[in-house]
């Protein structure tokens, strides 16, 4: 059974759940956008050699939200991850990330290569980018959303089943996989249920990095890298990803049947690749 942790960083209190022996191979696991630490519930028990600590990223799960008026910029997750590793007392450690978490893991590995022993990414490599011409309207949308937030009415669901159904409809998740994530993302509100995730996570990003900037990060990843893609996932549909793959010196790419959440829907196959990559 996982152990719940509370990590106090200089910025925020981050929640996490840990699997494996305290002297196992240290790996910090980072979930995807609007997911939480339970994203690794199916995968972690299949990797008993690891001390796998899955974070609730800021604004997700049981972790603190960012202070009022602050946006969730992609690059700001990198210092959060390093602060979590510091709170665990880990000088050298591996990274495992899914989707948003895979993007964060790739940037952390590029920024502090001396601390990262290996980086494994599932359906995520670097952040999304956008047309530079969309920058001004995106910033305006983000500002307007922030201004309207105090008056917004968050969605409420009459029961857990309705929340799980909403999560299924918003993604390619099966009911059982969605239920795992919803259990840690929901809270009781009156007679119903509402999301505990920060509403600001749904805002359009006020700024995006250019593809040239992202490629510069890919070139600085020194640790052995593994990317696991779903055959029907997001990455195989984005041809520009080939450029990112080519910039990482020690990258192995594997493809599994399924969509964007193979670690939840196909954990045995994911564990096979991860064991041979991290544990060898």
**Any idea which residues carry the catalytic annotation?**
99
Q: Packing angle between helix 160-169 and helix 175-185, nearest 10 degrees?
A: 120
Residue 38: CB partners within 8 Å, gap ≥ 6? Answer: 17, 54, 61, 180, 181, 183, 184
What the block records as the tokens of 48 is 């008993």
Q: What is the per-residue DSSP string for 41-77?
A: TTTGGG-TTEEEEEE--TTSTTSPPPPTT----GGGH
Task: Report DSSP state, residue 37.
Answer: G
The whole-angstrom distance between residue 4's C-alpha and the CA centroid of its chain comes to: 18
Q: Count CA atoms closer than 13 A to 37's CA, side-chain side.
A: 24
Cα–chain center distance at 136: 27
| Structure tokens, 195 | 């999301």
Q: Is 86 exposed, middle or buried (CB count within 10 Å of its CB: 0-12, 13-18, 19+)?
A: middle
**Cβ atoms of residues 86 and 105 within 8 Å:** no
Inter-axis angle of helices 211-218 and 100-111, nearest 10: 60
């Amino acid at each position: 059974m996982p152990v719940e942790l509370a990590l106090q960083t200089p910025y925020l209190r981050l929640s996490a759940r840990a699997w494996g022996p305290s002297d196992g191979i240290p790996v910090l696991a980072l979930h995807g956008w609007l997911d939480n630490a339970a994203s690794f519930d199916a995968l972690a028990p299949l990797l008993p050699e690891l001390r796998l600590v899955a974070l609730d990223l800021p604004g997700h799960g049981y972790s603190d939200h960012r202070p009022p008026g602050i946006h969730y910029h992609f690059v700001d997750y990198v210092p959060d991850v390093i602060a979590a590793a510091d709170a665990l007392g880990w000088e050298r450690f591996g990274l495992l990330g899914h989707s948003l978490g895979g993007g964060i893991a790739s940037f952390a590995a590029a920024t502090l290569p001396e601390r990262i022993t290996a980086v494994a990414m599932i359906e995520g490599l670097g952040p999304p980018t956008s047309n530079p011409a969309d920058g001004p309207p995106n910033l305006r949308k983000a500002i307007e959303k922030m201004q309207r937030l105090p008056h917004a009415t968050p969605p409420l669901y009459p029961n857990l089943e309705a929340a799980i159904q909403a999560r299924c409809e918003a993604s390619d998740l099966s009911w059982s996989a969605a239920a795992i994530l919803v259990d840690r993302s929901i809270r009781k509100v009156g007679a119903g249920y509402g999301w505990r995730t920060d509403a600001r996570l749904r805002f359009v990003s006020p700024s995006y990095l250019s593809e040239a900037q992202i490629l510069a990060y890919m070139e600085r990843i020194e640790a052995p890298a593994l990317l696991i893609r779903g055959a029907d996932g997001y990455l195989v549909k984005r041809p520009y990803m080939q450029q990112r793959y080519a910039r990482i010196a020690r990258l192995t790419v594997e493809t599994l049947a399924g969509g964007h959440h193979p670690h939840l829907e196909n954990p045995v196959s994911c564990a096979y690749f991860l064991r041979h990559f991290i544990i060898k």
